Amino acid sequence: MHNLLEQLESLVRRAGDAILSVRRGAYEVMEKGDQSPVTEADLAAHRILVEGLPSLLDVPVLSEETQIPGWSERSQWHKYWLVDPLDGTREFISGNGEYTVNVALIEGGEPVLGVVFSPELNHFYCGAKGYGAYKNGTSISVRRLGGNVPTVVVSRHFHSQQIVDLVKSRFDLVDIRQIGSSLKFCLIAEGLADFYPRLGPTNEWDTAAAQAVLTSAGGAVLSCDGNELRYNQKSEMLNPNFIAIGDQTLCWMPDLLSQLN
């Protein structure tokens, strides 16, 4: 596992360098069929990853920037790479630096390995089942909430005030922090935040790598039924509503999960 992660880090950093190269020049912002933005940086990172990943582990590669194979083919996949070559394209365009390169290895519907790399911040997060979670080579873990003021991380563009209000109802003080991309999960994984509630559409490539990091650090990404998010279980690739959490021991978590419907 260690050797695979080392090789994967080298590949993902190459993708990050390609993004930074585009970032330093002039680039065109295009619009995909779903009206979401895409740039040459997305495509440059995509090319590096889809060409390089099979040499690390020769299984199918599914990237946000490729045509999604039909369910008849995809349903036969037990193990595959799931890639978001530039998570947080809006952050990239706005220039705030809160975007990441995400790569996950899915096995039996579970993200068993994931890396999340922030090229601008030079933060490299990785996690794998039975291996633990790391940031730039240093072990990380979630925090127990205890008497701490909880930090809720939300998207800069989409967030649910409903669940933020529920968390606030349980504590005298709540810190709300807005941040882009999969860095929300990573802040929880390294013990700097506690919750990330998400009501609204996300795709499987948006969450898989960061879920692997967070679960390896002791956290969880749960849907309303209390189960971990799973992958490649149906023809569409949309996630249900979910909450990413650090401290799984909170007795009022069922109330929070019930609000995800």
- Range picked from 69-83, 144-158, 196-210, 235-249 for highest mean pLDDT: 69-83
What is the tens place of the pLDDT at every residue in 38-95?
A: 889 999 999 999 999 999 999 999 999 999 999 999 999 999 999 999 999 989 988 8
The domains located in the chain, with CATH, are 2-140 (3.30.540.10), 151-258 (3.40.190.80)
Q: Report the mean per-residue pLDDT for the chain.
A: 92
Q: Give 101-117 pLDDT, tens digit per residue.
A: 999 999 999 999 999 99
Residue tagged 């996949």 (tokens): 77
Q: Give the separation between CA 88 and CA 51, rounded to whole angstroms.
A: 22
Average pLDDT over residues 130-139: 98
